[in-house]
Structure 1
Amino acid sequence: MKRILIIDDEINICTLLSKFLSKHGFKVDSTMTGAQALKMIKEEPYDLILCDYRLKDTDGAKLLNDIHQISPQTVVIIITGYTDVRIAVEMVKNGAYDYISKPLYPDEILNLVNKALSQKPVAISEIAVAPHAHEENNLPATQQHKTGSYVYGESEPSKALYRELTLVAPTDYSVIIFGETGTGKESVAHLIHEHSSRKGQPFVALDCGSLSRELAASELFGHEKGSFTGAIGTKIGAFEQAHGGTLFLDEISNLTYDIQVALLRVIQEKQIRRVGSMKEISIDVRLIVASNENLFESVQKGKFREDLFHRFNEFTIHIPPLRARREDLPFFVDSFMTQVSKELNKPPVVLSEEVWECFRQYDWPGNIRELKNVIRRASLLTPANKEISMAALPLEMKGGGTFRTTMAPPQETFSQNGEEELEMPESNDLKSVALKAEYNKIINVLKEVKYNKTKAAQLLNIDRKTLYNKLRLLNINY
């Protein structure tokens, strides 16, 4: 039976949460002070702690640190009021699992507790923290092959990228990051934040490509309880969460026109208004946006507001694709092999000469993300102390651009117009025939647009979410 400790100076919350969680099979203790909580943690091991940020004898930040000193494996969830959300976000960066805002909703708490307890606990000492700018600037770019989660190289495009990053990071300029899918746009955005004067403040990332028109305003600006169907509580939006820090908006070109208008107003006035509220809330946020499409071309096509583009375009960084910096492959491979070795808890494997040659010749349409996934797969399939062979590589690398599918055994053929087709065993199953047709069409459209999913979805006349679902169904890896 999992043990939970509740720390809150309101006795009603302690009582209600204790009864509710006990009914769902947990052994629950509670206390109203931080001092008593620490004493209890020393005497009894707890799997999870629900801790109010504001206590009479201490605060959540200090108590979180003390808890991790005594019991590093214990999962901590912070309970906070709306005014402390920014602090709670910072505490999550410092090792708390998550935070939950008052008023508390039983189902929301139960879901979060179950989710937290279902994951393998990670000690605070194991959390990787990227070095700060002042610790790196003494090194030339050629020696900085790895910083935090991002790997540099020695090619000229990599050196240029590093120079631009270190130039713009200390400023407060808005930045547009342009690069193909999988080039590491979010990692670069995080590095800019870590090299800036805002590095101690929140870094919030939001994928605009996954937002529907209905959800975008709520995710960006927040909403009030009851402002629309399903709004069962007040939600803090991305701008408020990032107050004082950096907000990274990925796939920015996917925002609808009306959301672009609202975003322009926020940037101009530095104030947001939650959905369903008339109250203006001041925000101080540095904006970094990213796109795998050229935003200037989107402006010319009328898909993106020109005035919003110029608000963002104080500085532009272009991340070169992996095929444009092949000489950096050894640095990326070496770094990823080390990471994957730790993930799999096995000695690092090495690449055979044949695989190295394949890596050098391959175009890497999925860029750095694809390389890392290929290394993960190959390392998993290769026994310890053995070389990675061609047999461990995915089919698309061995077959000159073919793709894997769950429908076997496939063979590649070509249609009369030269498009690749998937040859499948004869079947009268209408569903199989339809899947084959979808597979072939998606593959050829992806190749036509160089694996840009946004453009592929537009050509296929479906939204991005539908395309992603079909890619998963057909086991297509891009």
Structure 2
Amino acid sequence: MKGKILIAESNTKSFEALDHLLRRKDFQCHQIKSIRGLNKHLESEKSDLLIVNSNLGKDELLDIYKKMGGRISSIAIVDSWQTSEAVKVTKLGAFDYITRPFQPEELLSMVEEALLEGKNEKKKVRKEVVGQSPAALLIQKHIKLVAPTEMSVIIQGETGTGKEFVAQEIFHKSRRGRRPFIALDCGAIPKELAGSELFGHKKGSFTGAINDKKGSFELADGGTIFLDEIGNLSYQNQVRLLRVLQEQQIKPIGDTKYKKVNVRVLAATNDDLWQMVQEGAFREDLYHRLNEFKIELPSLSERGVDIEMFAKHFLQKANMALDKEVRGFDKESMALLNSYDWPGNLREMKNVVKRACLMTEGRVIKANALRIGTSPVDANSNSLKLKDVVARAEREAIEKALELSASNKSEAARLLGIDRKTLYNKIETYNSYFPLCSAKSL
């Protein structure tokens, strides 16, 4: 048997056609006829691939994709007029979508690719934080120690040190590993919408609430929620979060009733939360609730022998992404990698190595391809007018911050010492005046 495929399809004849096609290729298929049945199956059973008829329920399916978080490879079957919804599910983690009518060979090819990618992802997942330095071994020890427990964990480290990956490692090694994993970047959510994103809302509870919405805690029920940059939560939402941790229940905005939830909380920050407590910016009672266990991630420059290993790892990934065959680094470039202080940590190294791989024409990366610590020279760099000099310096600082933060706007704004709104305004300004390559992700 090649794999177990779950087919969410209410129409029996449609399921039988898919079942017949896939069983010929030695796949085992199981039918689910409703959203409720799909939810129940995903909580209790394990499948290698999910094929979903999008007509089963648009909004409910989007909630399910959020809940799965890409943990199970999936393919959406849509009608030609539903492509906008199909794009949404691929952004939420679906492998791909296929429009009706389709050729059997087209679906079979997509199924094979989705299953292959799923296997490759499982092999790749554990490689990201493998290291031989004392710091790396201590991280692995702490993950192994705390994962099987129900303790809340604070993961603290600089930008780009791999906080979300550590959270995923804890999740995968926990007893909740087959339940939902919901990640939420508290720094990327406007303060006025954070309560809705965390706890949900009822239709009509505020302007723009045109439908009931499940919050991240409800979607994570039975599993784990990862709150990145938790220090950005407003005081009001800190109070609400504390109540959830104490009472294990939520109240969506506009609702009069509480809902029970069973969620493990992992939180990450690049701030010193205890310092924020001392300054009155973070609640002390919430800090102690979250800080049942803490994992501190060192900067890349403190990981010594791991630097070369990570560089080779990122080169391997870059070769695959760029379809190249660069074999390694010469002595000078490796010495440069080891001596650089890596303010953007692993995230910066990944970008540096990928760019160097792209620029390298031979088999070995040389030092001049790394461009460590330099900013691109602008075409108008000859102008000595003060306004042009200031604009170039500001633009280059923004460009560098976006590179170090992998285009995470909250992180970039923090590095620059400005708020997100100001950053967006400046990116918009410089994107038209000086083409900003780092802003392409907007």
Say whether the fold is shared (TM-score over 0.5).
yes
* The one of 263, 266, 271 aligned to 2:249: 271
Matched to 2:323, the amino acid is N
Residue aligning to 1:113:
86
* The one of 172, 183, 198 aligned to 2:176: 198
Q: CA deviation at 1:186?
A: 0.1
Query: Per the alignment, do residues 52 and 275 of structure 1 end up closer, same or farther by CA in structure 2, a change over 3 Å counting?
Result: farther
Distance 1:117 1:173 in 2: 32
Residue aligning to 1:408:
379
Residue aligning to 2:384:
426
* The one of 145, 148, 151 aligned to 1:170: 148
Distance 2:335 2:194 in 1: 45
Q: Deviations over 1:210-261 (max 9, x none)?
A: 0111110111111222222222222221111111111000000011111111
Residue aligning to 2:363:
386
Contact 1:34/1:55 (<8 A) preserved: no
Matched to 2:85, the amino acid is L
Q: CA deviation at 1:162?
A: 1.4
Distance 2:70 2:411 in 1: 36
Contact 2:199/2:214 (<8 A) preserved: yes
Contact 1:176/1:313 (<8 A) preserved: yes
Contact 1:129/1:148 (<8 A) preserved: no
Residue aligning to 2:420:
464
User: Superposition pairs for residues 86-125 of structure 1, below 5 Å?
Assistant: 89-90=67-68, 92-96=70-74, 109-114=82-87, 122-125=113-116
Q: Deviations over 1:437-472 (max 9, x none)?
A: 6347769999xxxxx986984797742354366468
Residue 150 of structure 1 aligns to a residue whose secondary structure is coil
User: Superposition pairs for residues 355-366 of structure 1, below 5 Å?
Assistant: 355-366=333-344
Matched to 2:126, the amino acid is G
* The one of 295, 298, 316 aligned to 1:320: 298
Contact 1:404/1:476 (<8 A) preserved: no
Residue 209 of structure 1 aligns to a residue whose secondary structure is coil
Distance 2:414 2:320 in 1: 40
Contact 1:409/1:425 (<8 A) preserved: yes
User: Superposition pairs for residues 16-95 of structure 1, below 5 Å?
Assistant: 33-39=14-20, 53-54=34-35, 77=54, 79-80=56-57, 89-90=67-68, 92-95=70-73
Residue aligning to 1:13:
none
Contact 1:250/1:289 (<8 A) preserved: yes
List runs of 5+ in structure 1 lacking aligned partners: 1-5, 10-29, 44-50, 69-73, 101-105, 132-145, 411-423, 447-451
Query: Per the alignment, do residues 83 and 299 of structure 1 end up closer, same or farther by CA in structure 2, a change over 3 Å counting?
Result: same
Contact 2:203/2:210 (<8 A) preserved: yes
User: Superposition pairs for residues 272-291 of structure 1, below 5 Å?
Assistant: 272-291=250-269
Residue 316 of structure 1 aligns to a residue whose secondary structure is strand
Residue aligning to 2:273:
295
Residue aligning to 2:394:
438
Residue 305 of structure 2 aligns to a residue whose secondary structure is helix
Query: Per the alignment, do residues 279 and 460 of structure 1 end up closer, same or farther by CA in structure 2, a change over 3 Å counting?
Result: same
Distance 2:235 2:279 in 1: 13
Distance 2:41 2:18 in 1: 12
Residue aligning to 1:25:
none
Q: CA deviation at 1:130?
A: 3.7
Q: Superposition RMSD on alpha carbons, in Å? A: 4.3
Which has the higher mean CA deviation after the structures are superposed, 302-311 or 159-168? 159-168
Query: Per the alignment, do residues 33 and 165 of structure 1 end up closer, same or farther by CA in structure 2, a change over 3 Å counting?
Result: same
Distance 1:32 1:115 in 2: 27
Q: Deviations over 1:40-83 (max 9, x none)?
A: 7899xxxxxxx9645999x9879996987xxxxx8865845859
Matched to 2:15, the amino acid is G
Q: Does 1:216 align with 2:194?
A: yes
Contact 2:48/2:115 (<8 A) preserved: no
Residue 346 of structure 2 aligns to a residue whose secondary structure is helix
Residue aligning to 2:166:
188
Q: Deviations over 1:300-331 (max 9, x none)?
A: 11111111101100001000000001211122
**TM, length-normalised to structure 2:** 0.75
Matched to 1:35, the amino acid is E
Contact 2:183/2:228 (<8 A) preserved: yes
Q: Deviations over 1:317-350 (max 9, x none)?
A: 0000000012111221222222222222332431
Residue 243 of structure 1 aligns to a residue whose secondary structure is coil
Distance 2:149 2:353 in 1: 36
List runs of 5+ in structure 2 lacking aligned partners: 1-6, 25-31, 97-109, 403-407
Residue 236 of structure 1 aligns to a residue whose secondary structure is coil
